[in-house]
Amino acid sequence: MTSKNPFFLILFMILGSCLLSPTASFVDDNEGGHFLDRLSVRQKIEMTVLNGIRNAERQADETARERILKQTLAQVEKLRASAPKQSKKTEKEIKGQIKLVEKSLKQVRTKTAAL
Q: What is the pLDDT of residue 25?
A: 47
Q: Is the Cβ–Cβ distance between 111 and 62 less than 8 Å?
A: yes
pLDDT per position as a tens digit, 9-67: 777 777 777 666 665 544 445 555 666 667 788 888 888 888 988 988 888 888 888 99
| Neighbouring C-alpha atoms within 13 Å toward the C-beta of 77 | 9
Q: Give yes or no for residue 115 having a pLDDT over 50.
A: yes
Burial class (CB in 10 A: 0-12, 13-18, 19+), 52: buried
Global confidence as pTM? 0.60
d(CA 111, CA 5): 71
**Which pLDDT value is given to residue 61?**
87
Q: Where are the domains of the chain?
A: 36-114
